[in-house]
Chain A
Amino acid sequence: MKKSKKQKLEADYFKTTKHRALSAARRLISIVICTALIFSLSSCWSRRELNTLAIVLATALDVGDKPDTVKVTAQIVKPGGIKASSTSSGGGTAEKAFSNIAFTDKSILSALGGFTHITNRRMYFSHNKVLIFGSELAKRGIAEGMDTFTRNFETRMNVYVLVSKDKAADILDEEIELEQMPANHISELLENQGLSSETAIVTVRDFNIATLSGTMAPIAPMIELYNFKEKKKARLEGTAVFKESRMIGELSSTQTRGLLWITNKAKRHTITIDTELGKIDLIITGSKGSIKPYRNKDGTIGIKLMVNAQGCLEGNETEEDLSTLENIQKLSELAEEAIRADIESSIKQAQALSADVFGFGESIRRDYPKEFEKIKDNWDQEFVKIKPMLEVEVFLNCTGGIGKPVKEGGG
């Protein structure tokens, strides 16, 4: 009785093991086939080895030599150069860590395609940090460039946009000392602008947002080459103003500052005040700017600009003790005056260009959409007519490490 049960159990056991072994074999075979298929079908589709890539760090777009062409210059990393310069530190004859290549064709994308004729590596734009337009091209129109660099999935929208005063390609050839690549130099240059707040930092995203609003005039910082000890170096200077994708004018550094005060982008800035007794330096450590549309009694819309800044007394050439409340109050007023002057000058310039760089139109659209509908179509004329109210307030809350000035017999 027991035996038979056991035998039956054993038979079952063998049956199931046999079945299991079979299904396991089948499964194994199917797995092998699938793996082989995946291997053979998928490998190398979008594979790109590191040493087959030309990593682009900066791109410059210029007007081509032939009519209706565009010249694309790309700065690519030369990994060999990086190695050489890092091992032979200080060696003056070190190989450059980058190489600039250019191609001219009818459109940007066809020029990019053209790079395949002159370089064996695949151009790789994911790490592109800087996009520079030559001013000639900027005046002709940059819509194509912006669209291409926004549409492509490889590029990012936090690429910095700049406009060069001359040929953009020349900027990429600047002779630099601290950095290994001009692209890094330029992008880090921009990132440090918060310390002076005299240059607008504009990314592709910012530019596109301004363009898409319809009424706002996009801006981009300008860069130029200058000679220093017989070396060509790049520096940031002023801002280019665009309208309908064309560069129509410039803002000076002061005017840019005014723009940044209003648009809440100014961070730190040093204001130097000339008094009869000597110069006084105030550092603005933080500021908050806002554009507030309001409705007049007659139903028209006005603009109120408010800037609220905090700062420190950081330099004192005079022999006066400026740390008294009375003096601080006076200084604040002087600083307010200086900021007001910046803003007024930038509004004047913008209205001269009839370009709404501040986004007055946008702020009206957001707060008074119905009223805006009426003036939307002839916004350019409306913008020129706007006389914004200005409210600037500066609050000085420290005097640096010392209170009284360093002067003879002061202690």
Chain B
Amino acid sequence: MKLENGHISEHSLMFGVYCFMQASMLRTAFIVGVTKNDSWAMAFTGLALALVLVAIYAALLRRYQQKNLFEINELIFGNVLGKVFSALYLFFFLTIAALNARDLGNFAESSVLPGTPLTAFILMFLMVCVYAIRKGIENMMRLATVLSFVAAGALVFNVVLILKNVNIEFLKPMFQLPFKNYVQGTVTVAAIPMGEILAFTMITPMLGKNKKAGKMMALGLIYSVISLSIIMLRDIVTLGPLLGIVRLPSFESIRYISLAGVMTRMESLYAVILISLFLFKTVVLLYASVLGLAQILNFKSYSPLTLICGAFVLFYSLIVTKSAMENEEWGASVAPFFSLSFELMLPVIALATAMIKRMLKKKEAQQ
């Protein structure tokens, strides 16, 4: 009997992208600091930019069916240069994996269990991540659908419960900030949570046919953008001017829920879902790194590298930023450019090279 090996459905990919994006809920603080009460709109403008990125990835994947990003690199640039490019991507994936692990650690340390060292959280978290990759990424992708429904359901639940405490007036005045802020907000949204779906290009070969990968990624992005803007709207109308001063706006707005003294302290539910989403995101990133590393080193199987990569991410996450403040500062200023250079520049170079190569070939053929 054929026991399926690593095949995922298109919907799994779509919901996977959704979960991946929802894990960035905490990062709304970056944008909120820049665009204040108009941040909800940044989700949509950011989407426009992110769709360009997806189009580039889709074009690459369409050209090289059944190949992942690292294999495509080697096909385009040849063995040596391709590996250099792959190594750059590997660095990027590992960095965002470490940043995510660190984010989770900071979150847990500050609001779940104050007083417990950061390392303990990240260690345990990464242990589960490694376990998940060992068990097969396709299983994780299959869980994405249910996880998406749970996350979306919890979001709706939270929004309904908080309705009593909202003040729509907080949305006003709309779009009064300097134009520069909106540009910055858009780029930040597009680069930090959205562009990171680049990691999915390591998984798309599992679809069997890469043709639909771009469409599914775009759909997942669109759904998640709706959620993201609902989250930001909720935070804005609940917190108002407080939005600018609290560290975790989404968390703080849920903390305020209190219905009849019973439906209260919902942030625990939020924390559980957030940890699950973080796990999903980190697993995808870690898987991309592990698989990529295995390909760079010409390993036959990636599983022996899983634990090593996990350990590396653990130590990397401990040194990647010194403090939550630095992380925020970095996220708001440098991160978009750092991310975009991997998410936009390298794929564009790859695509351009591929196109030129093809044109040259055609010319040769004609001659």
The reply to whether A and B meet directly (CB within 8 Å) is yes
Q: How far apart are B240's CB and chain A's nearest CB, in angstroms?
A: 5
Per-residue 0/1 for B238-275: is the Cβ within 8 Å of any A Cβ (1 yes, 0 no)? 01111011000000100110100000000000000000
Q: Are B258 and A213 in contact (CB under 8 A)?
A: no
Of all chain B residues, the one with the shortest Cβ separation from A45 is: B116
Q: How far apart are A47's CB and chain B's nearest CB, in angstroms?
A: 9
User: Please, how many angstroms separate the alpha-carbon atoms of A41 and B122 in the complex?
Assistant: 13
User: Please, how many angstroms separate the alpha-carbon atoms of A42 and B169 in the complex?
Assistant: 46
Per-residue 0/1 for B22-48: is the Cβ within 8 Å of any A Cβ (1 yes, 0 no)? 000000000000000000000000000
Q: Are A366 and B256 in contact (CB under 8 A)?
A: no
Contacting residues, chain B, for A367 (C-beta < 8 A) = 172-173
Q: For the complex, is B124 an interface residue (Cβ under 8 Å from A)?
A: yes
**How many pairs, one residue from A and one from B, have CB atoms within 8 Å of each other in the complex?**
54
Contacting residues, chain B, for A156 (C-beta < 8 A) = 255-256
Contacting residues, chain B, for A365 (C-beta < 8 A) = 173
Q: How far apart are B270's CB and chain A's nearest CB, in angstroms?
A: 14
User: Please, how many angstroms separate the alpha-carbon atoms of A157 and B256 in the complex?
Assistant: 7
Q: For the complex, is A185 an interface residue (Cβ under 8 Å from B)?
A: no
Q: How far apart are A370's CB and chain B's nearest CB, in angstroms?
A: 8
Please indicate which of the listed interface residues B114, B120, B240, B244 has the most CB atoms of chain A within 10 Å of its own CB.
Answer: B240
Q: Are A212 and B241 in contact (CB under 8 A)?
A: yes
The bracket for how many chain A residues form the interface is: 20 to 34
Q: Which of A352-390 contact B (CB under 8 A)?
A: 362-363, 365-367, 369-370
Given contacts A205-B256, A366-B169, A366-B173, contact A212 B127 (CB under 8 A): no
Q: Are B244 and A212 in contact (CB under 8 A)?
A: yes
Given contacts A209-B242, A365-B173, A367-B172, contact A157 B252 (CB under 8 A): yes
Given contacts A365-B173, A366-B169, A367-B172, contact A46 B113 (CB under 8 A): yes
Q: Are A153 and B176 in contact (CB under 8 A)?
A: no
The bracket for how many chain B residues form the interface is: 20 to 34
Q: How far apart are B35's CB and chain A's nearest CB, in angstroms?
A: 15
Contacting residues, chain A, for B242 (C-beta < 8 A) = 157, 205, 208-209, 212
Query: B114 contacts which of A42, A46, A158, A205 (Cβ < 8 Å)?
Result: A46
User: Please, how many angstroms separate the alpha-carbon atoms of A157 and B111 in the complex?
Assistant: 14
Q: For the complex, is B115 an interface residue (Cβ under 8 Å from A)?
A: yes
Q: Are A366 and B172 in contact (CB under 8 A)?
A: yes
Q: Are B114 and A153 in contact (CB under 8 A)?
A: yes
Q: How far apart are A26's CB and chain B's nearest CB, in angstroms?
A: 13
Q: How far apart are A115's CB and chain B's nearest CB, in angstroms?
A: 18
Query: A46 contacts which of B115, B127, B169 (Cβ < 8 Å)?
Result: B115
Contacting residues, chain A, for B255 (C-beta < 8 A) = 156-157
Q: How far apart are B173's CB and chain A's nearest CB, in angstroms?
A: 4
User: Please, how many angstroms separate the alpha-carbon atoms of A157 and B245 in the complex?
Assistant: 13
Q: How far apart are A371's CB and chain B's nearest CB, in angstroms?
A: 11
Query: B124 contacts which of A38, A46, A153, A154 (Cβ < 8 Å)?
Result: A38
Of all chain B residues, the one with the shortest Cβ separation from A363 is: B169
User: Please, how many angstroms separate the alpha-carbon atoms of A208 and B242 in the complex?
Assistant: 7
Q: For the complex, is A11 an interface residue (Cβ under 8 Å from B)?
A: no
Q: For the complex, is B9 an interface residue (Cβ under 8 Å from A)?
A: no
Of all chain A residues, the one with the shortest Cβ separation from B119 is: A41
Per-residue 0/1 for B81-121: is the Cβ within 8 Å of any A Cβ (1 yes, 0 no)? 00000000000000000000000000000110111110010
Contacting residues, chain A, for B258 (C-beta < 8 A) = 158
User: Please, how many angstroms separate the alpha-carbon atoms of A156 and B115 in the complex?
Assistant: 18
Q: For the complex, is A143 an interface residue (Cβ under 8 Å from B)?
A: no
Q: For the complex, is A36 an interface residue (Cβ under 8 Å from B)?
A: no
Q: Which of A200-234 contact B (CB under 8 A)?
A: 205, 208-209, 212-213
Q: How far apart are A293's CB and chain B's nearest CB, in angstroms?
A: 11
User: Please, how many angstroms separate the alpha-carbon atoms of A365 and B176 in the complex?
Assistant: 10
Q: For the complex, is A34 an interface residue (Cβ under 8 Å from B)?
A: yes
Per-residue 0/1 for B216-250: is the Cβ within 8 Å of any A Cβ (1 yes, 0 no)? 00000000000000000000000111101100000
Q: Are A209 and B124 in contact (CB under 8 A)?
A: no
Contacting residues, chain A, for B113 (C-beta < 8 A) = 45-46
Q: Are B172 and A34 in contact (CB under 8 A)?
A: no
Query: A369 contacts which of B120, B127, B176, B256 (Cβ < 8 Å)?
Result: B176
Contacting residues, chain B, for A363 (C-beta < 8 A) = 169
Q: How far apart are B129's CB and chain A's nearest CB, in angstroms?
A: 15
Contacting residues, chain B, for A41 (C-beta < 8 A) = 120
Contacting residues, chain A, for B239 (C-beta < 8 A) = 205, 209
Q: Are B111 and A153 in contact (CB under 8 A)?
A: yes
Q: Are A209 and B241 in contact (CB under 8 A)?
A: yes
Q: How far apart are A210's CB and chain B's nearest CB, in angstroms?
A: 9
Q: How far apart are A116's CB and chain B's nearest CB, in angstroms?
A: 16
Q: Which of A131-182 contact B (CB under 8 A)?
A: 153-154, 156-158
Q: Are A42 and B241 in contact (CB under 8 A)?
A: no
User: Please, how many angstroms separate the alpha-carbon atoms of A326 and B36 in the complex?
Assistant: 52
Q: Are A209 and B114 in contact (CB under 8 A)?
A: no
User: Please, how many angstroms separate the alpha-carbon atoms of A366 and B111 in the complex?
Assistant: 33
Q: Are A209 and B176 in contact (CB under 8 A)?
A: no
Contacting residues, chain A, for B252 (C-beta < 8 A) = 157
Contacting residues, chain A, for B116 (C-beta < 8 A) = 42, 45-46
Q: How far apart are A382's CB and chain B's nearest CB, in angstroms?
A: 18
Of all chain A residues, the one with the shortest Cβ separation from B267 is: A156
Contacting residues, chain B, for A213 (C-beta < 8 A) = 241
User: Please, how many angstroms separate the alpha-carbon atoms of A209 and B165 in the complex?
Assistant: 13
Per-residue 0/1 for A279-320: is the Cβ within 8 Å of any B Cβ (1 yes, 0 no)? 000000000000000000000000000000000000000000
Query: B120 contacts which of A42, A209, A362 (Cβ < 8 Å)?
Result: A42
User: B residues near A, CB below 8 A?
Assistant: 110-111, 113-117, 120, 124, 127, 169, 172-173, 176, 239-242, 244-245, 252, 255-256, 258
11 more contacts with CB within 8 A, not counting A208-B242, A212-B242, A367-B173, are: A41-B120, A42-B120, A45-B117, A45-B120, A153-B111, A156-B255, A158-B258, A205-B239, A209-B241, A212-B240, A366-B173
- List 27 A–B pairs whose Cβ atoms lie within 8 Å, in order of A's numbering: A38-B124, A42-B120, A45-B116, A45-B117, A46-B113, A46-B114, A153-B111, A154-B114, A156-B256, A157-B252, A158-B258, A205-B242, A205-B256, A208-B242, A208-B245, A209-B240, A212-B240, A212-B242, A212-B245, A213-B241, A363-B169, A365-B173, A366-B169, A367-B172, A367-B173, A369-B173, A370-B176
